[in-house]
Amino acid sequence: MMERFGTDIAKAREALMRGGLVAIPTETVYGLAANALDADAVLSIFEAKERPAFDPLIVHIGSMAQLNDLVSSFPERAQQLATAFWPGPLTLVLPKKPVVPDLVTSGLPKVGVRMPSHPLAQKLLQSLPFPLAAPSANPFGYISPTTARHVADQLGDRVDYILDGGPCEIGLESTIVSFAGDEVHVLRLGGLAVSEIEALIGRVQISASSSGNPVAPGMLVSHYAPRKPLLLGDIDYLTNKFMGRNFSVLAFSDLKSFEGCVLSPSADIHEAARNLFATLRQLDADGSSFIIAETVPEIGLGRAINDRLKRAAVPDVFES
């Protein structure tokens, strides 16, 4: 049997050329990849993830030439963003050409495109004659994987190969940006801070709210969630309220005397982002029956970290 886990780009390439599924490392999270231009291959992504067909996929490219094949227009400000932040943790939602299967975009007229910076992902993409559709490589609704092991634990028997590129550098999914006339909308907060986008193109609208119509299902309230309940709020207050109960604590930088984990002992927001999903998985698997967590400072990537924590949290228990 073929070894399913490793660093062999030729094996990954061969499986993708056959229409197979390969988990790929990116700087944000691991993706579950297939030929974006082959509707059958794309369908197998939805099946493996048990993902509803209304949730569109991001298409990953290795060069700007590939972008021209996929999209029919490229607004000025999208170009500025691509020039500044690609390759990197930014997805641009742009009008699609007919070559992109409707399954990829869930029937929407626009496609989300991203050029990842991870060296293995780049090498793989540049070796292929087609771009790769890839959602995060987790079962639908669960926490995104930031190591190859996370992928193997949950989807190991459903992929042809897992390309191991080590732990993800950023640890949060890409920031998704869409364009409508003069307006720029951030559909999902992510690994590129909004402040960096605004420094380049001026004020943008944050449409990444959890209410109303989910333009991007990554915006669904219950998403990125552990299996056990997570209570988000002030940890002194919550631990006091649940004294004597079997919980673990997820703290930003200081665990005090509680049992649990910190995201960054030095209070570094990038380190906290990098550790967030692996730490949530660890707490989900420990012996506790629920998790008490606090938000992190709302600066830089802190906004996206808090967005994920709120979506992971039990609704209506949010207290701060």
CA dist 293 and 235 (Å) reads 6
- Shortest distance, position 69 Cβ to ligand TXA, whole Å: 16
CA dist 204 and 280 (Å) reads 30
User: Which residues in the 64-103 window bind ligand TXA by CB under 6 A?
Assistant: 91, 93
Q: Are strands 132-133 and 5-6 parallel, antiparallel or unpaired?
A: unpaired
Q: 167-177 in b/e burial notation, b at 16+ Cβ within 10 A?
A: ebbbbbbbbbb
Backbone angles phi, psi at 250, to 5 degrees: -115, 110
SS3 37: coil
Q: Give the number of residues in contact with ligand TXA, rule: CB under 6 A.
A: 27
User: Which residues in the 130-189 window bind ligand TXA by CB under 6 A?
Assistant: 134-136, 173-174, 176, 187
Q: Does 294 help bind ligand TXA (rule: CB under 6 A)?
A: no
- Shortest distance, position 274 Cβ to ligand TXA, whole Å: 14
Q: Does 58 help bind ligand TXA (rule: CB under 6 A)?
A: yes
Binding mask 85-124 for Mg ion (x = CB under 5 A): ----------------------------------------
Q: Does 26 help bind ligand TXA (rule: CB under 6 A)?
A: yes
Strands (E), the chain: 5-6, 22-24, 31-35, 58-60, 90-95, 110-114, 132-133, 161-163, 175-180, 183-188, 205-206, 230-232, 247-251, 260-262, 290-293
Cβ 319 vs Cβ 234: under 8 Å = yes
- Binding Mg ion (rule: CB under 5 A), the pick from 136, 147, 174, 275 is 136
Q: Does 147 help bind Mg ion (rule: CB under 5 A)?
A: no
- Shortest distance, position 56 Cβ to ligand TXA, whole Å: 4
Q: Which stretch binds ligand TXA (CB under 6 A): 24-32, 153-161, 256-264, 276-284?
A: 24-32
Residues forming contacts to ligand TXA in the complex (CB under 6 A) are 26, 28-29, 31, 55-58, 91, 93, 105, 108, 110-112, 114, 134-136, 173-174, 176, 187, 215-218
